[in-house]
Structure 1
Amino acid sequence: MAVSAHASKVRSLYKRILVLHRFLPIDLRALGDQYVKDEFRRHKGAAPEEATGFMTEWKDYKDTLQTQVLESAEEQTGSVKFGANLSEGKLGSFQHDQIGQLYELMLESTKSTRQFDIQEDSK
């Protein structure tokens, strides 16, 4: 029973993050959706102690993004920036492969030319 409760929490968090991504600019949404899908898939069989940390970090991400989406809706100026700076302490606790992954994500998110031609759905 505990396993299915955990799986339900993971699924709920995953779906909520993807819903929040709908409010991001289209290029960030595509990048974010793919990253979330890859990370959740990669940690599907994680050990319980790793899963706890994983869920905590993604809940923090969801809370931060939710706050930023609400601020964006209130401002309606398009000047709201999404994301947050990492503290030196948190950055120092990353493993080498996580630093590399973070660097690749930074490069991808700051590219001046897009890898894909993503367009909004016309309504």
Structure 2
Amino acid sequence: MASNINHLSRVRALYKGILKLHRGLPLEMKAIGDQYVKSEFRLHKNSPDQEAKVFMSEWTKYYMTLAKQLSQRKQKQTIGDELSPELLENFREEQVGQLVELLKESCKPKEEES
């Protein structure tokens, strides 16, 4: 039981930490990122233990990468990371579809200000 409470508190801390980091992103990226993070954490709420471990590991890597990039942003204007072909080959069809949707959203032209 204590292990379950511990896991839940780590999940919440990671979730909140990611949303806090997103405050440093440009508005369009923040909106897309927040929506995606909320959706993914909701979808994996009742994942099996092994899947939850992988989920937490990957989102922790995302957190660390984004934190590092945002701290160095003034020196180099790069946010994000390339996905290796090996990693992409391991994605399920659903995950590839999500990437395509994220790509479409991120490539939409900015709405012109009136």
Please indicate, yes or no, whether the TM-score normalized by the shorter chain is above 0.5. Answer: yes
- Per the alignment, residue 56 of structure 2 pairs with 55
1:68 aligns with 2:69: yes
Q: Sequence identity, in percent?
A: 45
Normalising by structure 1, report the TM-score: 0.86
- Per the alignment, residue 104 of structure 2 pairs with 107
Residue type of the partner of 1:17?
A: I
Distance 2:87 2:42 in 1: 23
Gaps in structure 1 of 5+ consecutive residues: 118-123
Gaps in structure 2 of 5+ consecutive residues: none
CA drift of 1:112 comes to 1.2
CA drift of 1:87 comes to 0.5
CA drift of 1:113 comes to 3.9
What is the number of residues matched between the two proteins? 111
1:98 aligns with 2:99: no
Runs of 4+ deviating beyond 3 Å: none
- Per the alignment, residue 38 of structure 1 pairs with 39
Q: Secondary structure at the match of 1:85?
A: coil
